[in-house]
Structure 1
Amino acid sequence: MNQKKFDLLRDEVALMDKAANHLRFSLQRCVEIQGKNNYSPEELERFESLAGRFARLSDLVIQKMFRLIDQIDLENQETVRDRINNAEKKGLIKNSETFVEIRELRNSIAHEYTEQAMRKIFNTVITYCPDLLDAVERIQYYIRRYY
């Protein structure tokens, strides 16, 4: 592997780690208040921050890390589904269908505006955060092991 890919990998891992730490912080703050019928504007802002951080980390993992690892491993990665399937085969994720759902959730976060739909999205984000954070740990392990 050439030095440019090593440098890019190092930079992307640093971004991923920082984004994962931000997501963990937001997740902790939202789990504390989850399940209420009504939220204050400040509490809704916490959930919006969580959703944004979830979307960013999922993009980093799926669009950047999976793609870069596939490039380094000389794997075919034509579609997002290909990247997700390759990630499951490599042990970067536990279940490819979960990450297809995470990708779809990320798209919903970007395009949904009604308060009722956003409440459902917030709960779903909380449900999928452990899977996304587990992928971060698996990616770190894979990189240490193979590169």
Structure 2
Amino acid sequence: MKLSVDNEDKLERLLFLSRVVKKEIHHLNYSADKVFNDAFTEERAKRLASDEVLAEQVEAFTSRFCRLQDTIGDKLLPAWLDALGEKTSVAIDNLDKAEKMGVLPSVEQWLTVRQLRNQMIHEYIEDLTILADALQTAYSYLEFIVDVGESIIKDLENRMTKTKVL
């Protein structure tokens, strides 16, 4: 399937989103290295109330994790599908297309990651076991979400090279 970007603005938007996702991946990995230098346990979660540095690092990780998923799922993916001439629709349909096209390994996993966001917002969590588990689970999905973003960008770059759009 060739790129079928019908105007320069759409192509610029797609390239912009690709650059944004690359930067978001970089910053998310940085935050993950800070928070998960050790396993995030209930004991570490207890420290959030008194350790401002740790609290800020956890906030950065959760914000960046959620933002990357939003950028990929709500912006990059629809723009990429549109550039391929695919009709975009509601998020679940776009995810199904991405899975069929091979850039998303599992819609089910994507939705699981999506559900983690409420559990990771530590201001709203009183059960520190739930918070620690949600953060550790999000970290376990880090490679998954990064791979999805990178797969879309790689596919885009390959298609652009083939059609000499770059």
TM-score by length of 1: 0.88
Do the aligned partners of 1:55 and 1:109 also contact (CA within 8 Å) in 2?
A: no
Identity, % of aligned positions: 24
What value does the CA root-mean-square deviation take over the aligned residues?
A: 2.0
Task: Assess, with a 3 A threshold, how the Cα gap between structure 1 residues 105 and 92 changes in structure 2: closer, same or farther.
Answer: same
Alignment match, 1:4: 9
Residue 94 (structure 2) pairs with residue 83 (structure 1)? yes
SS in structure 2 at match of 1:94: coil
Which position in structure 2 is the counterpart of 1:144? 157
Structure 2: tracts of 5 or more residues without a match: 161-166
- Counterpart CA distance in 1 for 2:10 and 2:56 is 37
Distance of aligned partners of 1:20 and 1:134 in 2 relative to their CA distance in 1, 3 Å threshold: same
Given the alignment, which residue of 42, 63, 66 partners 1:52? 63
Q: Do residues 74 (structure 1) and 81 (structure 2) align?
A: no
How far apart are the structure 2 equivalents of 1:57 and 1:125?
Answer: 12
Asked if the contact 2:41/2:133 (under 8 Å) is kept, the reply is no
Q: 1:112 Cα shift?
A: 6.9
In the alignment, is the contact (CA less than 8 A) between 2:40 and 2:132 conserved in 1?
no
1:129 correspondence with 2:142: yes
In the alignment, the residues of structure 2 paired with residue 5 and residue 118 of structure 1 have an alpha-carbon distance, to the nearest angstrom, of 40
Q: Which residue of 1 aligns with 2:21?
A: 16
Secondary structure of 1:136's aligned partner: helix
* TM-score with structure 2 setting the length: 0.79
Aligned-pair CA distance for 1:31: 1.9
* Residue 95 (structure 1) shift: 1.5
Change (3 A) 1:8 1:49: same
Say which one has the larger Rg. 2
Unaligned runs of 5+ in 1: none
Q: Which has the higher contact order (CA 8 A, sep 6+)?
A: 2
CA shift, 1:52, in A, is 0.8
Give the secondary structure class of the aligned counterpart of 1:38: helix
